Amino acid sequence: MAEFDRTPPEPAPRTTAIVVPDLFPTWGNDRFFKLAAEGKRVAFVLQSRASDANHLKQRGITELIRL
């Protein structure tokens, strides 16, 4: 494991994100697990940040799934 301390692996890209309400971020969990079971790698993004193009670009998110 010391090898990972020196050279941690790059995280897999997650270009798709589920938009969740700021006050209820767990509302997307069912959708997340369904997509994960299909082999898709998705992230979460808060509704308040979903229109922030710079934030999405920094995270590599190109597709949003709205609940």
Per-residue pLDDT of 11-54, as tens digits, reads 788 999 999 999 998 999 999 999 999 999 999 999 999 999 99
pLDDT value of residue 4 = 72
Q: What angle do CA 14, 20, 23 make, to 5 degrees?
A: 140
pLDDT value of residue 44 = 96
Question: Domain of 62?
Answer: 2-66
User: What is the domain-level CATH number for residue 43?
Assistant: 3.40.50.12590
Looking at the structure of the chain, the number of domains it has is: 1
Whether 1 shows a pLDDT value over 70: the answer reads no
Buried b (16+ CB within 10 A) or exposed e, 5-39: eeeeeeeeeeebbbbbeeeeeeebeeebeebeeee
